[in-house]
Amino acid sequence: MRPARGFSLVEVLVTLLVLGIAAGAMSLAVTADRERDPAVAVEQLRKALETAAYRASIRGQRLAIEFQADGYRFTSLDRHGQWQRIDADPALQPRRLPAALAWHSLATSSRQAGTTASPAHRRIEFGTRPPQYRLALAHEGVLHVLDGSRAGSVLHRLEHPGAGR
């Protein structure tokens, strides 16, 4: 009688389990790297701002983005007039900025034209009519500018402040 050749079912399953764990670890590492990428973080913020404007106008619920020194969070106004942090919604969950990205300036339609302020400890409120604003973040001498329109869309553009001088 010849000995059996090949792998047992247990050996195949253990091999697949090890490969699955390795693939999961690689996926987490790639995701963590993408979250530290300033361009990805700005795009996430742009989409979140558009989502907040859309939801506030459709639902008639007031939402706000609150800027913090190292990130931002969204809040909603409850029926008692208190701002409550939004944690459960993946599109509006609190986020930290990558270390290389910093708040630069915020100008809103409620401020006089031409005046800007640091976004840290400020907010933009969304209601049935989206606000108009200009939010800038700095990364290695380049400004990522997010222009929010009355239609709720947000345009992302780059500015090079020192160029052309």
Q: Which domains does the chain have, with CATH numbers?
A: 35-159 (3.55.40.10)
- Cα–Cα dist 101/97, whole Å: 6
Tens-digit pLDDT profile for the chain (165 aa)? 666 677 788 888 788 878 887 777 776 655 444 457 999 999 999 999 999 999 999 998 899 999 998 999 999 999 999 999 999 999 999 999 999 999 999 998 764 344 456 675 588 999 999 999 999 999 999 999 999 999 999 999 999 877 654
Q: Which residue reads 């190292």 in tokens?
A: 70
Can you tell me whether residue 73 is helix, strand or coil? strand
Helix/strand number for the chain, H first, E second? 2, 9
What element of type H or E holds 133? strand 133-139
Please indicate, yes or no, whether the overall pTM of this predicted structure exceeds 0.85: no
Can you tell me whether residue 153 is helix, strand or coil? coil
